[in-house]
Amino acid sequence: MSKDSQWIAGINAVASAIEHDGDNVREVLLEAGARNPRIVEIEGNARRLGIEVRRVAQQALDGVAGGLRHQGAVARYAAARTWDEHELAGLVAAAEGRALVLVLDGVQDPHNLGACLRSAAAAGATAVVFPKDKAVQVNATVRKTSSGAADTLPIFSVTNLSRTLRDLQKAGVWIYGFAGDADASLYSLDLKGNVALVMGSEGDGLRRLTRENCDQLVKIPMPGRFESLNVSVATGIALFEAVRQRL
C-alpha cells in the first residue's frame, strides 16, 4: 500500500468517508455475503460515486484492518490532508471574531484523540492543534474513533506548540489553559469571541511552556471525590460550554 493512503475500518468510519470525502476513498472492501443494511447502503453509495467495491472473506478484512474492529467494512483511504501552520491565522480571520480552537498538548491515546476530534467537529470548532512530537497523530484508530471528524476538521500538527500559541495570540485569540490547580472556573469565562481551549496530556497535564503561553489558566469545577477527568470528557465539557454561550 502506498504511503499516501491507509486503511480505515468500521461501518461508521467507512460510511462517513464515502459521504463526506468520497473523492479520497480509493476502494472499499466488504465482507462477502454480509447483508447488514448499513453494509448494503455503503456498497450502494460507493458504487454511485464510482468507487471500486470488492466483497472479500472475513479473513482478508481482518488482515487489512490491523486489529481494528471492522464490522465487515474497510476502505483504502487517501492520507488525511496536511494543513500548513501558516493557514491557521487565515481560518481564525475567516471566523470573524468567533474562532473556537481546540489545542491538545500531548494526548497519547488514539481513542482519546479521536473522541476529542469528534467533540470538536460536533461543536463546530474552527481548528484542532497538537504537537508533532510526543503526541499521537491521526492514524486509522483515530479516524475510526472520530467517526469521520478526522477527515472534515482542519487539523494542525505543529512543530512548536508554544510558538503556535503565540501566533494565535497575535491573531487575536485568547488562550485558556485547563489545569486542576487553577483558580478560575470554566463557567466564569466569556467564550463568545476568539478563544483557544488548551487541554493537557492524560498523565501530566499541560507542559510548563504551554502553561506559560496561556493567557489564563482555568479549571472545570469538580465537587466530587475525583480531581481529574479523562481528557476527551474534559474537552467535550469545555467545547460545549463555549457552544452554549454562543447560541
The domains of the chain are located at 5-78, 85-246
pLDDT score at 65: 86
Q: What is the pLDDT of residue 1?
A: 45
Phi first, then psi: what are they for 54, rounded to 5°? -130, 140
pLDDT one-digit tens code per residue, 73-131: 999 987 667 799 999 999 999 999 999 999 999 999 999 999 999 999 999 999 999 99
On the question of pLDDT at 212 being above 70, the answer is: yes
Tell which CATH architecture fits domain 5-78.
Answer: 2-Layer Sandwich (3.30)
DSSP character string of 93-157:
HHTTT--EEEEEES---HHHHHHHHHHHHHTT-SEEEEESSSS----HHHHHHTTTGGGTS-EEE
What confidence category does residue 151 fall into, taking pLDDT thresholds of 50, 70 and 90? Answer: confident
The alpha-helical segments, DSSP class H, found in the chain are: 11-21, 37-48, 58-65, 88-94, 110-122, 140-145, 161-170, 208-212, 231-246
Task: Give the pLDDT band (50/70/90) at residue 2.
Answer: very low
C-alpha gyration radius of the chain: 19
Average pLDDT over residues 214-223: 95
Check pLDDT > 60 for residue 9.
yes
pLDDT in tens, 193-202: 999 999 999 8
CATH number assigned to the domain covering 85-246: 3.40.1280.10
pLDDT at 3: 53
- pLDDT bin (cut points 50, 70, 90) of residue 4 is low
Which pLDDT tens digit goes with each residue over 14-68?
Answer: 998 888 778 889 999 999 998 899 999 999 999 999 999 999 999 999 998 878 7
